[in-house]
Each structure stands twice: as C-alpha cells, then as structure tokens.
Structure 1
Amino acid sequence: MTPPTPPPQPPRPFRTIARLALIAFTVGTIGLAFAWTAGWLSPARLSGADVADVLEQHNGEHPGFRRAHEKGTCVIGHFDSNGRGQALSKAAVFAPGRTPVFGRFALAVGSPYAPDGVPAPRSLALDLTAADGSTWRMAMNSVPLFPVGNVRDFVALQRATTPDPVTGKPARQKVAAFLAAHPETRAFNAFMASRPIPSSFANGSYHSINAFRFIAADGVARVVRWSMLPKAAFTALDRSRFDALNERDRDFLFNDLAARLRQGPQRWHLVVTLAAAGDRSDNATIQWPETRERVDVGVLVIEQALPESAGPCRDITFDPLVLPSGIAASDDPLLAARSAVYAASLRRRSGEGAPR
C-alpha cells in the first residue's frame, strides 16, 4: 500500500540522514514517541501543547498528522488469550478467548514523506477492548529501552538535535556536549548501532519500554514489562543498501506489510516479563536482565491494513494510561506526561483535517 505522492518539496537526501542516524535521528525521533510534560521543570510548568510545539520545531509542521511517528498505517485483527495471563492480572482481556484489536504500525521519522530505508525504530500501537467494555491501549517500540531517563534530559536532547534551519543538521557542538554529559544516551546509540534492523514490520519485536503493574484477582501486584515477539522468521536489512532500497521503493516497509497480509494474517506472541527485586520500574533507560521470568499470555493476530486517512486508528490516541482494571501504571514518571502530549497532538490534528 503506497502512500500518496509527497508535496513538491523534496525530502533531505538520504546520505545526510544516514550520517546523523545515531544522533539526531535515533535519539531524536524515538524520543518523539515518549514526549513529556508535567511539573518537573521549574519554575514554569510545561503543558502538552508546549511539548507539541517542541516536536513541531524538531520535525517541521505536517498538518493533519501526528506530531510524532507521522508515517503510519492502521491495522485490524484480534488477540487470542491462552488464559495464562489470569494468574498475573484480573483484566478481562486475559480470559481464554478472543478480543478484537485495531492499531497502527509506524516509522519513527519526523516526516510522513520520509523514505523507509533509514535506521529508525518502528512502533506498534494497539487498542484491545474486551467483552466487558474495558480497554487496554499500548504504545510499543521496536527498541526495548529509551535514550534518556527524565524530563530535563528529554528537553535538552530535543534542543541539541533540532536541525539548524540553514544547514538542515543539528549543531555538532550541541550534540557532542549532550552526549558527553549523558552516558545512558551514548549507551543507547551504541545499542542502536549494533543491533540488526528487521526487514519488515511483520518480523520485528515491539516492547512496552515503560514498566506497569499487573494486579491479580487476589490483589497481588507484580511489576511487568511486555513484548510482542513475531512468529515470522527474522531477516535483517543491510544498512549499506538503504540508498538502493529507497530508490527502488520509498515505502517498501508498508508495501511489504500489505503484501504479507494478502498472503495471510501475521502473528506475534504477547510475552510478559516479571520484574525481580531491585529491578527499576521508574527508569526506561535500564533494561532488566534476560534471566527474568517470562510468561506467554497469548497471540496477537493482524489481519488487515488500512490507510490511516480512513482507518480506525486515525482519530484516537494510543494513550498508555488507558488501562483496564487489573493493569495499572508504575512509578515511571513518563507515563502521565505521554498521555498529556498525545492529547494535545490529537486536538491539533483534529482541527487540521484528515492527512493527505
């Protein structure tokens, strides 16, 4: 499914994007998925609209589109619970059986017209509404950690990586100064540079990044994160061939997803990871050890992709605090702020008309 032809203004040449990928692109664009607002910054309090302004300054203005992860497509399917999640959470979605799902795949780029051949993270957002009417919304990312751990650092990161209007690139001195002061961001960059990039939306994994709490019927609460792990066989993109991929098809990830769905549904296992004593629940830059207990609670089945302009995902936010009874927020301060920024973005694009 190929998006409409972009407006006359051409995108920045790919080689420029590639050179900045591990700085302005990855640490900047992935940050857009987790923009924050709250009273942490003093003396002034930032609103969701304030942070939306920062995103527009970083990405440019694209009326009708989301302020982050602008390039996306709606999807429809269902979740088949195997019942194992009931030991962890009383949420109705974990009862054995089927729950309808809709959602959105997206590319973490700053423009809806950007090419797919870039080393950017991908995202998967979902809405699961159970038979009792309870709704669980997820906003997951293909990278299991975040480049910064607090609001002040996020704001500083956006300022450091905002492209200069003359050169079209972030100022090297600002980026270098930020990285020198933030070892967690340097570690994130190293992780991004070393990990293979999935060749498809369908063979990639997606992660909650933030921690949450699952509450069982007996009241016992456990701190968790979760991941969607694909059943499709993994193959990696060749980073050295991004130029050739973009020349052949600028929208190859989205067209590949449509082609795979024409052949049949695509599936992911929903795997819940349980925290152990000492695991941080309030810092998304820190991964938990691979040895932590994991529980496979069911299978996500995606059956259809639709253009976002006409699909069910267009006019909602995938607010991570839309949670059913049995799932609650953790002490991660980013969660409430994400909710506020997503709401501000929805208000803006709702008044701008449908994206082209």
Structure 2
Amino acid sequence: MHNTPLSTRQRLVRLALVGLIPLFVTVFFLWAGGWLTPQRLSADKLVDVLQQSGGKHAGFRRNHAKGICVVGEFDANGNASTLSKAAVFAAGRIPVTGRFAIAGGNPQAPDYAVPVRSLALAFQQPNGEQWRTGMNAMPFFPVATPAGFYQLQSATRPDPATGKPDPQKLQAFLAAHPEAQPFFAWAKQFVPSSSWASDRYNSLNAFVLEDAAGHQQRVRWSMVPHTPASAITAADRQDADFLQHDLQQRLAHGPLKWDLILTLAAPGDASNDASKAWPADRPTINAGTLVLNQAEAQQQGPCNDINYDPLILPNGIAASDDPLLNARSAAYAKSYNARTAEQARQGERTL
C-alpha cells in the first residue's frame, strides 16, 4: 500500500501534539501538588500540617508513625462472595501483612498518651491483586471533608508557649464544624483498652462491593476481636511501649484473631460522610477471620515498604463517593515517598 507523504502542515500538527504530551503531564503533576492553585488543599498541605503537630521525624510515616509489623492470614468463609467478586471473599486462606500503630507523627510517643489506635492490612490475593485497608479504633471520623481535617489539625496543634491546643481556636473550630461534636463527646468519655489485640478496628469510610452480575452494595467494615477487652491499667501507663510488649507476649502464646464484619448500608445511609455512624440495626455479614501469628519491628520489617493506601482495591471492591478517600490516598503517597527517600539516605550514611 502506497503511503501519501505528509504535508508540512500535517507534520507541524503532529509535532505540536507530541510536544503537548509532556506539557500536559507536567501541568498535571504541578496541579496535583498544588503549585498552580496555592489555595487548593493539596497532599503537601495535609502532610505539612501533620508534621507541624507531630514534628519532623525522618524515615517515619507522617501520621501513625509509631507501630509494629504483623503477619498472618485471612481465612475467608465465602459468606461475602455473593456480594463481591473479589477473590479475597472466596472461601480459602490468603496471606496478610499488617501494621498496628498509634495516631500521631511522633515515633517516640508513649503508647498510653495516644488513645486512637489503628490496624492497616494488605491482603495478597491468589490472582496477584491486593486489597489494602487502614482502619481505626474509633466509631466514626471527626469530620466529613479533607478541608475539615486540615482545619482540625490546625486547631488542635499545640501552642509552643503552653504545649497544649489553644482553647479559643478549638472552640472556633467546633463552631464551624458541628459535625465534629459527637466525636469530641465520644473521646471525652472513651477509656482506651490495655491491648491492640482487644480493639475493634473500623474502616470509617464507605466502599462499594460489586458482584459478578454488576450489582453493587455500599458497605463499611470492621475487624471485631476474639480477645476480650480490658481497660488500660496503671501498670500500662508505666511502660511507654506497653502495646508492643503486650502484643509480643500474646503472640508468643498463640495467634490472635478478629472477624471481618461487613455492615450493609440502607438506601438513606450516607456513604460520603465518615463523621456519621450508620444505624446499629443495619444487616451485617461475617466474611471470615483474620489470624495474626507474628510481630516484627517496623523499621526494615515486612510492613515498612507498604503504603497502606485505602484506594488500592481489587476487582470487586471500589471506592465510594467519600471525599476523604482521595485525600487519604494522596497524603499517603506523599508520606511514603518522603520517608522511603529519607530511609535510603540514612542507609547510604551507614555504609
């Protein structure tokens, strides 16, 4: 087949299009970083405000900096396979790499000083896909939007003169964000447990399950412990690392277990507002049991290089319309890139 030579005009158009591709890529990354719209709440700003509260600690996560790696497996019972085509819900066992942590950016914070705890998990499906989830031991999130979270961090940042948040800033925040009042009421009466093993960890954000026929169901999930809960003790408050010590002692005597409970939303339940709990009478499904059997230090441990981005989802699980999910994903990526680069530089200095 004979090719007709391109005209000068056509060649110029093609060259212009080729030249625009790197330009568009550059503009996209500038936009994502917030450089073109400084008033926009970018991942940089979210990470910066977290560092202002917890301080800068090279090589550590910008939030939930203090933690410990855990490994085990998920034993799915198949009950949720009717709701989702994700392989993680098919009956069988798959490996899991996780991380327990306490909230905040200070990796040297005493365990007893931080009431909010977390559990992050990476499920490795047989088909190569992963499901990653970051859960917290609280019933709902303080705010509904990324802007609200940024303002909360700013309002609760300790005053250098007193070491405590400015009461006037906190009152102004609550006046502007009445949706946070239930969380503050919960936190005021909450008594932390004596163990990571006995905490219930909740997704807080909503997600969407999809079956093989395309039917969708909005859900939230929780890891519900088999270990009975007990309140933090005076002896616990004498040990800055009591959560890690307790976990290692418990695992030395056998595995620890949680049931994965899916809560199904009703038509009127908000999936875009993590500050609102769904009614307690919503139907639930026990999808299987998480079994953890080993713990390791986080630095150089199996969880160190995992970014527990909540939007790393397998086929059959999708993000909801919750605006916090995209913000979490972007901030996690920013934090991951920063800390891994810092760890690499630290490794070079030790050679």
TM-score (norm. length: structure 2): 0.85
Of 266, 276, 281, the match for 1:276:
266
The alpha-carbon deviation at position 43 of structure 1 amounts to 6.6
| Aligned: 1:246 with 2:241 | no
The alpha-carbon deviation at position 261 of structure 1 amounts to 0.3
**One-letter amino acid of the structure 1 residue matched with residue 145 of structure 2:** N
Residue 16 (structure 1) aligns with? none
Residue 340 (structure 1) aligns with? 330
Deviates more, 1:171-180 or 1:284-293: 171-180
Of 137, 146, 149, the match for 2:144:
149
Residue 68 (structure 2) aligns with? 73
Residue 117 (structure 2) aligns with? 122
Distance in structure 1 (CA, Å) of the matches to 2:169 and 2:188: 21
The alpha-carbon deviation at position 345 of structure 1 amounts to 0.4
**One-letter amino acid of the structure 1 residue matched with residue 229 of structure 2:** F
Distance in structure 1 (CA, Å) of the matches to 2:213 and 2:193: 40
Residue 315 (structure 1) aligns with? 305
The alpha-carbon deviation at position 38 of structure 1 amounts to 9.0
- What pairs up with 1:1-356 in 2 under 5 angstroms? 44-238=39-233, 241=234, 245-247=236-238, 249-353=239-343
Bigger relative contact order, structure 1 or 2 (CA pairs below 8 A, ≥6 apart): 1
SS at match of 2:197: coil
Deviates more, 1:144-153 or 1:304-313: 144-153
The alpha-carbon deviation at position 169 of structure 1 amounts to 1.8
Instruction: Report Cα offsets for 1:107-151 as digits up to 9, x if no partner.
Output: 113311111113521100000011111110000000120111112
Distance 1:43 1:278, change over 3 A: farther
**One-letter amino acid of the structure 2 residue matched with residue 77 of structure 1:** G
TM-score (norm. length: structure 1): 0.84
- 5+ residue gaps, structure 2: 1-31
Contact 1:148–1:185 (Cα < 8 Å) also in 2: yes
Instruction: Tell me how large the CA RMSD over aligned residues is.
Output: 1.9
The alpha-carbon deviation at position 347 of structure 1 amounts to 1.0
Q: Larger helix proportion, structure 1 or 2?
A: 2
The alpha-carbon deviation at position 52 of structure 1 amounts to 1.2
**One-letter amino acid of the structure 1 residue matched with residue 226 of structure 2:** K
Percent identical: 51
The alpha-carbon deviation at position 214 of structure 1 amounts to 0.3
Contact 2:102–2:114 (Cα < 8 Å) also in 1: no
**One-letter amino acid of the structure 2 residue matched with residue 187 of structure 1:** P
